[in-house]
Structure formats: C-alpha cells, structure tokens
Amino acid sequence: MLKQSRFLAITAAALALSLGAVNAASAAAPDAQPPAGPGMMGGPGGHDGHKMEMRMKKELDKLHGQLNLNADQEKLWQSALETMKQNHAAMRQSHEQMRAQMQTVKQQPILDLNAMYAAHQKIEQQNAQLRDQTSAAWLNFYNALNDQQKTTVSTALKQRFAKMEARREHWGEHRGMQGGASAANP
C-alpha cells in the first residue's frame, strides 16, 4: 500500500509539472501576450507587462540620473543593463522553444512525461544561469558605488519594495472579496 501511494504521488507530481510546463509554454505563445518587462524575467505580461516594462525603464532612467556616475561606474551600469536585456531576450526565446516542444508533444497519443520534465528542467536551469549572470552584473555595478550612491539605490529599492507590498496587499484583499462573493453565490 505504501509503495502504491508513493507511486501515485510521484505520478501526480510528474503530471502537475508537465501541466505546469505546458501552461507556461502556451502562455509564452506568440498569439498570447508578450513576456513581462526586463526585470520580471519572463512570463505572460500582456498590456500590463508592457506597462510594467515601461514603468521599470522609467524608474531605471530616473535612478541613473540621480547617481551621478563616473566613467567606470557608467561602464558597469551599461554592462549590467545590456546583460539584463540580453538575458531577458534569451529567456523569452527559451519559453518559445518550450512552447514549440509542447506543441509537438501534445500531438503524440501517449505523453512522455519524463521527456517533458527533462525539457522543463533544462530550460529552468538555463534560465537560472541567466538570472545569476544578470544578478552578478548588477552586483558588480552596485559594489563599485560609493556610500552616497548606495544610499540612493537603497532608497529607490525600498520605495519599490513598498509599492510591491501595497500591490500584493491590494490583490490579497481583492481575492478575499472575490472568494467571499463566490461563496455567497455558489
């Protein structure tokens, strides 16, 4: 009985991962919305993703103007910005590859969950490396700043964190109200 329940749990987990991979891949389809902005590192974004991308660009431009960078710092800023853009584009491409693979796999009469899982893991590992590269580039830039510049960056980040928290609370309240409304109207 224990072996059977373990087998069922493993099968359910594999199926859940596969469905998650299919959903993630189909969300990145060309006819779906484009991925979110450069700092969001992929995923469906649509109009909100575009707005988020524009908002992030505006925030980065504002921060850049406040920092009064010297020539060496400016090179590091540009390098981090370019790394971020290139890695984001690479992650978009990997999502597209996953979507194409899922389209092929869906045509098979029997799904190969092992292959689907392996493909998903490979892309996740590649994307993790890209995120690490981007983080390293920004940390390299940040470490070259003086204390006053780091304070400016810290203040901007704290403001961004506060906005994110306010949005999270807003959506939590919104979902709570929806849950209550749907419970009242079965």
Which is higher by pLDDT, 136 or 172? 136
Model pLDDT for residues 155-174, shown as the tens digit of each residue: 999 998 998 899 889 888 87
Identify whether 17 is part of a domain: no
DSSP lists the bridge partners of residue 44 as 35
Identify whether 179 is part of a domain: no
pLDDT of residue 26: 34
Which is higher by pLDDT, 41 or 84? 84
Provide mean pLDDT across the span 121-132: 94
Identify whether 176 is part of a domain: no
pLDDT of residue 7: 43
Model pLDDT for residues 56-82, shown as the tens digit of each residue: 888 899 999 999 999 999 999 999 999
Which DSSP string do the residues of 79-95 spell out, in sequence order? HHHHHHHHHHHHHHHHH
Model pLDDT for residues 83-95, shown as the tens digit of each residue: 999 999 999 999 9
Q: Is the pLDDT of residue 27 over 50?
A: no
Identify whether 6 is part of a domain: no
Identify whether 113 is part of a domain: yes
Determine if residue 90 is left, alpha or beta; phi over 0 gives left, psi from -120 to 50 gives alpha, anything else beta: alpha
Kindly report the length of the chain: 186
Q: Is the pLDDT of residue 147 over 80?
A: yes
Provide mean pLDDT across the span 29-36: 36
Q: Is the pLDDT of residue 39 over 80?
A: no
Check: CB of residue 52 under 8 Å from CB of residue 45: yes
Q: Is the pLDDT of residue 47 over 80?
A: no
Please count the structural domains in the chain. 1
Residue 149's pLDDT band (boundaries 50, 70, 90)? Answer: very high
Identify whether 104 is part of a domain: yes
Identify whether 7 is part of a domain: no
Domain range spanning residue 33? 24-170
Query: Which of 11, 43, 8 is CA-nearest to residue 117?
Result: 11
Which is higher by pLDDT, 11 or 23? 11
